[in-house]
Homo-oligomer: A and B are copies of this chain.
């Protein structure tokens, strides 16, 4: 038996649920990397085991712990933004992963946009009702041949009435681009990127700054660390997990609705999925 209070599930996605069920049976608190599974029935099997065992479960949507994005969510939660009317999320990688990865990724909506679906729920504080998704192959034809897109736009209508736009690209040559904006009756809150450093050079042609931080290891170092602190603190204090099993399930459902929307060329209600 494991001589530990908690189990961190960081294995490949298709093994998450089996490990989760075993860890729950062993009575361990669980930290599970996202996504729980690409298969909704599997997700439900895992969450049922966790619920039956009554063990704490945290899902690793680390971006919620990025201080800049968190400040946006806090500005909504505190009432500063007022009623949220619009939410805009830009999420672009510096370059695409290998085609072999693309082929088993579940598609851009489950692999990449899933973070943004979580961010939309986190920032607006409201579940999603309807999804409209479109996409294109603009970065690499091989991604299209693998049945996926590399450029995507999604519109979410939330239960609160807020509308979220998400745009994704697999390749932003100027660095990792991660921005979240919440706009409402009271004001606006926006997170922006860090550049590589804070020097600016100017001459008669204008002023220049360096590119953005390269990728997630640079941008989200703090959020990974803070996520673990939050998980351990919640365990020690016996308080609710920061990101629940339901929070892990919802973005998968939205992602499945997005894929269906793009395939059928129409808005899809989340309730159609499950």
Closest residue of chain B to A75 (Cβ to Cβ) is B201
Query: When the two chains form their complex, are residues B203 and A186 in contact, meaning their CB atoms are under 8 A apart?
Result: yes
Query: When the two chains form their complex, are residues B208 and A85 in contact, meaning their CB atoms are under 8 A apart?
Result: no
**A196 CA / B54 CA spacing, docked (Å):** 38
Interface string of A175-200 (1 = CB under 8 A from B): 00100000101111111111111111
Interface string of A76-102 (1 = CB under 8 A from B): 000010010110101010000000000
**A107 CA / B52 CA spacing, docked (Å):** 53
Size bracket of the A interface: 35 or more
Contact of A211 among B71, B171, B204 (CB under 8 A): B204
A132 adjacent to chain B (CB < 8 Å):
yes
Interface string of A43-72 (1 = CB under 8 A from B): 000000000000000000000001111111
Query: When the two chains form their complex, are residues A198 and B194 in contact, meaning their CB atoms are under 8 A apart?
Result: yes
Query: When the two chains form their complex, are residues B68 and A198 in contact, meaning their CB atoms are under 8 A apart?
Result: yes
Residue among A136, A167, A266 facing the most chain B CB atoms (10 A cut-off): A167
**Contacts A71-B199, A267-B265, A267-B266 hold; do A188 and B169 have CB atoms under 8 A apart?**
no
**A155 CA / B164 CA spacing, docked (Å):** 12
Least distance between A88 CB and chain B CB atoms (Å): 6
Residue among A165, A206, A210 facing the most chain B CB atoms (10 A cut-off): A206
**A180 CA / B155 CA spacing, docked (Å):** 18
Query: When the two chains form their complex, are residues A183 and B92 in contact, meaning their CB atoms are under 8 A apart?
Result: yes
Contacts of A167 in B (CB 8 A): 86, 88, 163, 165, 183
Query: When the two chains form their complex, are residues A86 and B207 in contact, meaning their CB atoms are under 8 A apart?
Result: no
A-B contact pairs, 25 of them (CB 8 A): A66-B197, A67-B197, A68-B198, A71-B210, A80-B203, A85-B151, A86-B169, A88-B88, A92-B183, A132-B267, A138-B185, A151-B163, A153-B165, A163-B167, A165-B165, A172-B188, A174-B188, A189-B199, A189-B200, A193-B198, A195-B207, A205-B208, A206-B210, A207-B208, A266-B266
Q: List the 10 closest pairs (A to B, CB-CB), nearest first.
A: A187-B203, A71-B199, A67-B197, A174-B202, A68-B197, A68-B198, A192-B198, A68-B199, A85-B138, A207-B209
Taking A177-B188, A188-B203, A191-B198 as known contacts, 6 extra A-B pairs with beta carbons closer than 8 A to each other, sorted by chain A number, are A67-B197, A68-B197, A132-B132, A169-B183, A207-B211, A208-B209
